[in-house]
């Protein structure tokens, strides 16, 4: 296989590092045009020579255009496109690889010259060269999404050292250092925002064009572009561990993870090519023993046609290009597949299992309601509760502390944690209990009976031995949660299941609201793993699990396809999952399924097109009913059609 085609399979991102770093825009554009012209010049020269030669032949315009003059003319037309192929074929033979498409094309075209079919020999090699040019253009286009990611790879960081901000290589910045990012610059490393707020373009990371506004002490990711004012960031990761570096590494590795179809075609080509060479030899000589009036030149011509037709270019070019186009289209939509094999597997998924918190809900708790006894105003009640929760690090405590209470702040003392139940302490000289019903029961506090029917998480408060009230805490659904479930169903998924570590009553309520088929709550990570293992044992069941990539790591690894939400913020997600939804939107799950199916459909269209046309024209060629021109269409024409079909993936729009 050619170096170009090998590169299509094993694209090396490193070759593009920093290629835009120092170029002047106009010079770069001008040099690109010159480079393209030089690339196409041999094909243009051969094409003009071929057309002129055929015209002279057809009209018999020049009486002396024959014999050695004609041979020299067509040889001159042949060499610009033929010599590189013959050279590549010879190098392959020296390396022990005899049966390549270079070998087939060289034998077929040199054979055409040997029997005096000079225009056809030039035409075959010319159109093969044009096919190569189309292939390269398609590969470069497919690389565009990865190059776009490389363009957001930061080249410098302004780090605060010795009382001033100095420009350094991002790889030299340590964790905990302070960096400055000006308007329009890329954030060089992952970190925590020190400024009050910032607005960022994260399109290259998440596929979302809408600016993302981030508040102080929130995470900022490398590769984001600062849109508004000079900001300062405290780094939390080294450059090599930053989000953009990890994503680039993952995309690079994705091209090396082949689908079963791709691997099969590669193995098939290695067996198929020598077979057709020996069949061509047989087609040349065997008729001598069975056909009356055997003419060597006629059967050699048929064999040469057979060789041209049988070249597996369309398959070995278009199939890897199709899968790579699918990977690129997915990354453009904020979805990262770790390999073409997962594009394939995604098309077979019929059961989707999802976590609740962080997947369909925001994972951010908020107070839904406050109920207090008549002994205290709501403000007083909340001051007692908040003074206690200040001593806790629980996520629910954080939600309570966001409540805006009026009046003087209270201070809690002698606070102790009652394992699995809540907190006990003293506020304003009063004994305060904050926690669940078990805490109240163990301290013989009579609780209002209306709390029994509450589904949401509930925090109860008792002051000086009397029930003082409660707050309900709920996790919010993501904005596109309903839309996501609807689209997953419309994409043909037969069963949607929710497994959550949250209490079962809350899980069931969310599942009912989203119209999920079956749900189970109160599960530990190993319980989720057991449930998914049971599903996988069912006949014809392919399971995709969607989780946040941290506590769901075991089940992400065990499922047929593991999909992680919020991959930018979770190292475990990037390591464990097969597919990363970069912007945390569950509606992208259906999009991932659509892209996988579109990719597979185009790949199989190309396989059907290549085999169908080739088998038909090979049969016609063997019976003398096809010329070298039909062979050119069957080989190069089909390859071009397959390439153009694969390119469609890069322009497709999937509507959610």
Q: What angle do CA 242, 334, 263 make, to 5 degrees?
A: 90
Asked if 220 and 205 count as a contact pair (C-beta separation under 8 A), the reply is: no
Q: Residues near 641 by Cβ (< 8 Å), separated by ≥ 6? A: 314, 609
Rounded Cα distance, 592 and 402, in Å: 36
Asked if 315 and 296 count as a contact pair (C-beta separation under 8 A), the reply is: no
Asked if 595 and 608 count as a contact pair (C-beta separation under 8 A), the reply is: no
Q: Is 355 a catalytic residue?
A: yes
Rounded Cα distance, 509 and 393, in Å: 27
CB atoms < 10 A from the CB of 576, how many? 19
Rounded Cα distance, 435 and 400, in Å: 12
Q: 626 by DSSP, 3-state: which?
A: coil
CA 410 to chain CA centroid, Å, is 52
Classify residue 397 by burial, with Cβ atoms within 10 Å: 0-12, 13-18, 19+: buried
Q: φ and ψ at 406, to 5 degrees?
A: -90, 160
Residue whose C-alpha is closest to residue 377's, from 473, 468, 472 = 468
Residue 177 is given by DSSP the state -
Asked if 167 and 155 count as a contact pair (C-beta separation under 8 A), the reply is: no
Q: 627 by DSSP, 3-state: which?
A: coil
Q: 455 by DSSP, 3-state: which?
A: coil
Rounded Cα distance, 72 and 76, in Å: 6
Asked if 223 and 243 count as a contact pair (C-beta separation under 8 A), the reply is: yes
Cα-Cα-Cα-Cα dihedral sign, residues 208, 211, 217, 223: positive
Residue whose C-alpha is closest to residue 297's, from 625, 616, 624, 50 = 624
Could you give the C-alpha distances from 639 to 128, 146, 358, in angstroms and in order?
9, 25, 45
Asked if 43 and 130 count as a contact pair (C-beta separation under 8 A), the reply is: yes
Rounded Cα distance, 360 and 500, in Å: 11
Radius of gyration of the chain from its Cα atoms, rounded to whole angstroms: 34
Q: 614 by DSSP, 3-state: which?
A: helix
Describe the strand order of the beta sheet including 543-547 as a list of residue ranges.
335-337, 579-581, 561-565, 543-547, 351-354, 495-499, 518-520
Q: φ and ψ at 607, to 5 degrees?
A: -65, -45
Rounded Cα distance, 169 and 18, in Å: 12
Describe the strand order of the beta sheet including 212-215 as a list of residue ranges.
212-215, 197-201, 225-226
Classify residue 621 by burial, with Cβ atoms within 10 Å: 0-12, 13-18, 19+: buried
Beta strand segments in 177-330, E:
178-181, 191-193, 197-201, 212-215, 219-220, 225-226, 231-235
Could you give the C-alpha distances from 284 to 235, 237, 299, 300, 634, in angstroms and in order?
71, 67, 5, 5, 20
Asked if 353 and 544 count as a contact pair (C-beta separation under 8 A), the reply is: yes
Catalytic residue among 355, 578, 584, 635: 355
Q: What are the catalytic residues?
A: 355
């Amino acid at each position: 296989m050619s170096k170009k085609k090998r590169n299509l399979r094993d694209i090396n991102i490193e070759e593009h590092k920093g290629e835009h770093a120092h170029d002047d825009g106009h010079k770069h554009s001008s040099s690109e045009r010159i480079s393209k012209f030089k690339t196409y010049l041999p094909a243009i020269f051969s094409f003009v020579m071929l057309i002129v030669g055929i015209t002279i032949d057809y009209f018999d315009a020049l009486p002396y255009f024959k014999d050695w003059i004609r041979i020299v003319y067509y040889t001159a037309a042949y060499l610009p496109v033929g010599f590189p192929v013959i050279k590549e074929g010879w190098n392959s033979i020296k390396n022990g690889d005899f049966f390549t498409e270079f070998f087939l094309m060289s034998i077929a075209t040199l054979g055409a010259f040997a029997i005096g079919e000079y225009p056809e020999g030039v035409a075959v090699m010319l159109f093969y060269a044009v096919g190569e040019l189309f292939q390269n253009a398609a590969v470069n286009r497919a690389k565009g999404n990865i190059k776009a990611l490389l363009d957001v790879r930061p080249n410098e960081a302004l780090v605060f050292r010795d009382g001033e901000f100095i420009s350094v290589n991002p790889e030299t910045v340590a964790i905990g250092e302070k960096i400055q990012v000006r308007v329009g610059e890329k954030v060089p490393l992952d970190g925590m925002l020190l400024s009050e707020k910032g607005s960022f373009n994260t399109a290259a990371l998440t596929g979302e064009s809408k600016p993302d506004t981030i508040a102080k002490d929130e995470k900022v990711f490398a590769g984001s572009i600062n849109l508004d004012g000079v900001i300062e960031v405290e780094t939390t990761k080294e450059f090599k561990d930053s989000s953009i570096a990890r994503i680039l590494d993952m995309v690079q590795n994705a091209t090396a993870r082949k689908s079963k179809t791709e691997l099969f075609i590669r193995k098939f080509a290695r067996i198929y090519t020598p077979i057709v060479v020996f069949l061509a030899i047989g087609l040349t000589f065997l008729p001598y023993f069975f056909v009356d009036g055997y003419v060597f030149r006629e059967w050699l011509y048929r064999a040469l046609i057979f060789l041209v037709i049988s070249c597996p270019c369309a398959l070995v070019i278009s199939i890897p290009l199709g899968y790579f186009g699918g990977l690129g289209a997915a990354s453009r939509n904020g979805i990262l597949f770790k390999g073409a094999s997962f594009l394939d597997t995604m098309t077979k998924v019929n059961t989707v299992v999802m976590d609740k918190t962080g997947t369909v809900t925001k994972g951010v708790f908020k107070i839904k309601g406050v109920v207090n006894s008549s002994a205290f105003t709501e403000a007083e009640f909340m001051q007692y509760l908040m003074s206690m929760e200040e001593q806790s690090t629980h996520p629910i405590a954080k939600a309570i502390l966001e409540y805006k209470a009026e009046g003087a702040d209270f201070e809690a003392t002698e606070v102790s944690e009652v394992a699995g139940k809540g907190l006990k302490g003293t506020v304003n000289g009063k004994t305060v209990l904050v926690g669940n019903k078990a805490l109240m029961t163990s301290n013989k506090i009579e609780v209002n009976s209306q709390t029994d029917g509450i589904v949401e998480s509930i925090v109860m408060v008792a002051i000086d031995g009397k029930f003082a009230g409660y707050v309900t805490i709920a996790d919010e659904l993501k904005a596109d949660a309903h839309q996501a479930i609807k689209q997953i169903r419309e994409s043909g998924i037969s069963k949607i299941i929710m497994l959550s570590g949250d209490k079962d009553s809350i899980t069931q309520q969310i599942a009912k609201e989203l119209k999920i088929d079956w749900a189970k709550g109160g599960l530990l990570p190993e319980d989720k793993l057991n449930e998914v293992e049971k599903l996988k044992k069912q006949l014809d069941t392919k399971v995709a699990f969607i989780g946040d990539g941290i506590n769901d790591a075991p089940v992400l690894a065990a499922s047929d396809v593991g999909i992680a939400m919020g991959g930018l913020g979770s190292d475990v997600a990037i390591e464990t999952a097969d597919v990363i939804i970069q912007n945390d939107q569950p509606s992208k799950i259906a999009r991932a399924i659509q892209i996988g199916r579109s990719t597979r459909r185009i790949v199989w269209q190309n396989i059907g097109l290549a085999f169908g046309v080739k088998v038909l024209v090979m049969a016609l060629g063997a019976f003398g009913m096809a010329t070298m021109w039909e062979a050119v269409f069957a080989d190069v024409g089909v390859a071009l059609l397959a390439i153009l079909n694969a390119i469609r993936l890069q322009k497709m729009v999937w509507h959610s």
